[in-house]
A and B are shown apart, each in its own frame.
Chain A
Amino acid sequence: MSVLRVLTVGTLMHIKQISRSPFEIAITLIVPIVQATLAVYLFRAGGEQHRLLEAAVGAGVMGIWSSVLFGSGGAIQSQRWLGTLEMIMLAPRRPVLVILPITIATGLTGIYALLATLVWGRFLYGIRLDFAHPLAFVVAAVVCVLALGMFGLLLAATFVLMRNANALANTLEYPVWLVSGMLVPITVLPSWTGPIAAILPTTWGARALREATSGGPVWPSVAVCLGISLLCLALGGLALTYVERRARAAATLALA
């Protein structure tokens, strides 16, 4: 009960803190338009009119991923700047209860990118929003956000230790977009990326959303996505406990 409350209140507060940043607002206004445009032109060039919606969804998932990636790294870093990292880590709680709300919050603000990409796709390019399984799409979207939030937790664990977490975040954005098939189908990628894709929750989340959009067995993908992310949660929780101790030994919770 108390655990659920901490997570909920924490997530709400972090959504407020994140969504009021002028930088964040600018990003969330511009990026979805760019993504919708990108999706449309890539696929229009290929003459695949019927896959426009699928492309827009893929682009939206990229938005969630970017939000989680920069959110998890950025949130830790910006809390270090704000001086709040020490204050929250000092709480008599398991570190996972402190950090998970932050990464879930970044996932939730990211879902706005998905919705906005779809809306811009509709208005600018006339993409018809006819989903094969509308209900499954909603469920898949929610699972996708939670999954990315838990994956973000695992990332955040490494970010707590690293003073320049941003650098790592920068290098992870595009590879994960590509490898997990958010924009181009996995089948066109070199085969060595297959195993990497298979363990990334982003792959299964993107796939579930695609299946809900164009038809396909949504639920198995949702289940795998959820399974992998619960594993991330468990690993992330353990890692954080270890990392918190390391950070206290190495003095990386504060700036200077």
Chain B
Amino acid sequence: MGSDYAIEAEDLRRTYKARTGWLKPKRTEVEAVRGVTFTVGRGELFGLLGPNGAGKTTTIKLLNTLLIPTSGTARVCGHDVEKDTREVRRRIGYVFGGDRGLYDRLSALDNLRYFAELYGVAPRDQKRRIAELLDLVGLAGREGERVEGYSRGMRQRLHIARGLLHSPDVLFLDEPSIGVDPVAARELRRTVADLAATGTTVLLTTHYMAEADELCDRIAVIADGQIQALGTPAELRHRADGRRVVEVEAYGVPESAVESLRGLPGVRETAVEARGALQLLTVHSDAHVDVQGDVLRELAGIRLGRVNSREPTLEDAYVAIVSAA
């Protein structure tokens, strides 16, 4: 119908206003999304990738009508999200990660029946559709149990079944694999890939690089409420071309040492990630400069573990994009 695109976002902005304090109220404003523009083609699997607080959830909620944009416009299947709200809602499904969003004291079947009714699935189709979806997400046989007894993974799958009841054209998935075990996460990725293969447009947010890489046709990297890079996984990988990565496992690196690493000639980026007792230092440098020796000299006196110099991966490209933001 009408539009070639499933999703069109044009300079979307969203500010949260909050009042904190009671006796002396203080107004705070958070600019969560600051001018986001992109389009998603029909049937495309599009990823929004970014760290926590980047504005992924806010962007999704602007597109699925849960939030009204402070400025900018968005269309889903050609319908304006602010003006044709109901037309948009008929065509979209929304699934978010975590274990909220379901009626705990009802069975899975009752949850699905209720939402099927709310989302306007024709009564004569409901039974078949619900059975189909229970099958799809592997909950057939467990549908009579109350959701409060479900594991995290089962809730997540029920969530997905619920989001698909009315066969939406566009599915919004907000960090669906959060808190799900690796096996369940893999199942989930397969389900999502299958959906996209059968023509559903999927907009997926995640902060797992690998997930976005495996699933998405195109990825928008978002940080600080703005899109920092947009392209296919292969295109994004090129962002790290001309770089080399040195990884150092260390114990108790002071902030000053990290600072001095950043100042070394040829070094472009440094990142520190805590992994239990040890810290993983990642140093990006120009490919033609060998910084490993310099790095180890700067870290003299600090207890070190494994040291490793390698070609950049997509993950490194992501780190490069986000830390440049």
Contact = CB atoms under 8 A, between A and B. Distances in A.
A86 B57 CA distance: 13
Contacts of B123: 5
Given A13-B113, A83-B100, A84-B102, A6 B118 contact: yes
Interface residues of B, number: 30
B114 A9 contact: yes
Interface in A1-53: 2, 5-6, 9-10, 13, 16-17, 20-21
B68 A248 contact: yes
A83 B65 contact: no
Q: Is the interface of A mostly helix, strand, loop or mixed?
A: helix
Contacts of A6: 117-118
Interface string A79-106: 0001110111111110000100000000
A8 B104 CA distance: 20
B201 interface: no
B105 interface: yes
Contact of B118 (A17, A83, A88, A250): A88
A93 B115 CA distance: 11
Contacts of A87: 94, 101, 115, 162
Interface in A226-256: 245, 248-251, 253-254
B110 interface: yes
A92 B105 contact: no
Interface residues of A, number: 29
Given A82-B100, A90-B65, A251-B16, A16 B106 contact: yes
Contacts of A249: 67-68
A23 to B, nearest CB: 11
Interface string B86-129: 10011000101010111111100010011101111001000000
B234 interface: no
Nearest to B100: A83
A249 B65 CA distance: 10
Nearest to A79: B103
Contact of A90 (B64, B68, B113, B117): B64
Contacts of A88: 118
A91 B89 CA distance: 7
Contacts of A21: 105
A157 B16 CA distance: 22
A245 B65 CA distance: 10
B325 interface: no
Nearest to B146: A20
B66 interface: yes
A9 B110 CA distance: 10
B105 A9 contact: no
Which of B64, B96, B106, B118 has most chain A Cβ within 10 Å? B118
Given A5-B117, A84-B101, A248 B67 contact: yes
B109 to A, nearest CB: 11
B70 to A, nearest CB: 9
Contacts of A13: 103, 106, 110, 113-114
Given A86-B94, A89-B66, A248-B68, 7 more contacts: A6-B117, A82-B104, A83-B101, A83-B102, A86-B101, A90-B89, A249-B68
Interface of B: 16-17, 64-68, 86, 89-90, 94, 96, 98, 100-106, 110, 113-115, 117-120, 123, 162
Interface of A: 2, 5-6, 9-10, 13, 16-17, 20-21, 82-84, 86-93, 98, 245, 248-251, 253-254
Chain A to chain B: the 10 pairs with minimum beta-carbon distance, closest first: A83-B100, A83-B101, A92-B89, A20-B105, A91-B118, A13-B114, A9-B117, A92-B90, A249-B68, A248-B68
26 contacts: A5-B123, A6-B118, A9-B113, A9-B114, A10-B118, A13-B103, A17-B103, A82-B100, A82-B102, A83-B96, A83-B101, A83-B102, A84-B103, A86-B94, A87-B162, A88-B118, A89-B66, A90-B66, A90-B89, A90-B94, A91-B89, A91-B115, A91-B119, A92-B89, A92-B90, A250-B17
